[in-house]
C-alpha cells in the first residue's frame, strides 16, 4: 500500500448537497428555505424560540453554581510519577518541583498549580513540592521515605 492509494471505505463519506444550483438539482432557486420570512435570510439566530411558548431551556430547572474564579489544578497520580522516575525522566535525588514535572512531560501545564493524588504504586523516596495533595498521597510519600511539601497557595 502506498500513500496515494489510501482512501476511505466506500460509503463512509457523503457529498454535501449544494443548494441554489438550478432546478434540476432538487434544491434550486430558494435552496430549501421556502419563501421570504426571517428564516429564509442569512444570519438567523432564533434556534431557541418556540413561537411564544416558554422555551425548553427556560422550562428546565436550574441547579448549582459555577464559581467564575475557581482554581483549576493539573492532576497527577503518584503511580505516574513513579513511572517517570523509573524511566529516568525525573531525577529522584533532586527535589521534584512543579517545573520539573512539566519539563519531564508528566504534566502538560501547571494551570493554577499541580495537585498530587495517591493512585498507583509508589516506593521511591522523593522530595515533592507542589500546590496541593490529597491526605493519602502525603501518607504514601512519607511511607516511602520521602516528603511532600504543599505550597501556601493551596490554602487559599
CATH number (domain holding residue 79): 3.100.10.10
pTM: 0.57
Q: Is 124 inside any structural domain?
A: yes
Q: What is the pLDDT of the chain when averaged over all its residues?
A: 89
φ/ψ of 100, rounded to 5, equals -65, -40
| 153, pLDDT greater than 60 | no
Q: Is 35 inside any structural domain?
A: no
Q: Which DSSP symbol is given to 60? A: S
The domain in which residue 79 lies consists of 74-150
CA dist., res. 140 & res. 134, Å (int): 10
Per-residue pLDDT of 52-76, as tens digits, reads 899 898 999 999 999 999 999 999 9
CA dist., res. 123 & res. 145, Å (int): 8
Number of folded domains in the chain?
1
CB neighbourhood size of 140 (10 A): 23
Q: Is 155 inside any structural domain?
A: no
Q: Is 99 inside any structural domain?
A: yes
Residue 96 contacts residue 133 (beta carbons within 8 Å): no
Q: Is 80 inside any structural domain?
A: yes
Report the pLDDT value the prediction gives residue 3, as an integer from 0 to 100: 96
Q: Is 24 inside any structural domain?
A: no
Report the pLDDT value the prediction gives residue 48, as an integer from 0 to 100: 79
- H or E segment and range at residue 114: strand 114-117
Q: Is 133 inside any structural domain?
A: yes
Per-residue pLDDT of 77-116, as tens digits, reads 999 999 998 888 888 888 888 999 999 998 999 899 999 9
Q: Is 31 inside any structural domain?
A: no
φ/ψ of 43, rounded to 5, equals 75, 25
Task: Indicate the pLDDT class of residue 49, thresholds 50, 70 and 90.
Answer: confident
Strands 127-130 and 132-133: unpaired
For 156, half-sphere exposure in the C-beta direction (CA atoms, 13 angstrom radius) is 10
Amino acid at each position: 500500500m502506498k500513500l496515494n492509494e489510501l482512501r476511505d471505505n466506500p460509503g463512509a463519506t457523503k457529498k454535501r448537497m449544494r443548494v441554489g444550483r438550478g432546478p434540476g438539482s432538487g434544491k434550486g432557486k430558494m435552496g430549501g428555505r421556502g419563501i421570504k420570512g426571517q428564516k429564509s435570510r442569512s444570519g438567523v439566530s432564533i434556534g431557541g424560540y418556540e413561537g411564544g411558548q416558554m422555551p425548553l431551556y427556560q422550562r428546565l430547572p436550574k441547579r448549582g453554581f459555577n464559581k467564575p474564579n475557581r482554581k483549576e489544578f493539573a492532576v497527577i497520580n503518584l503511580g505516574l510519577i513513579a513511572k517517570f522516575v523509573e524511566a529516568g525522566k525525573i531525577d529522584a535525588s533532586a527535589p521534584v518541583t512543579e517545573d520539573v514535572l512539566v519539563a519531564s512531560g508528566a504534566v502538560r501545564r501547571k494551570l493554577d498549580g499541580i495537585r498530587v493524588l495517591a493512585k498507583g504504586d509508589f516506593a521511591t523516596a522523593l522530595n515533592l513540592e507542589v500546590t496541593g495533595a490529597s491526605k493519602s498521597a502525603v501518607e504514601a510519600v512519607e511511607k516511602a521515605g520521602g516528603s511532600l511539601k504543599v505550597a501556601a497557595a493551596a490554602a487559599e
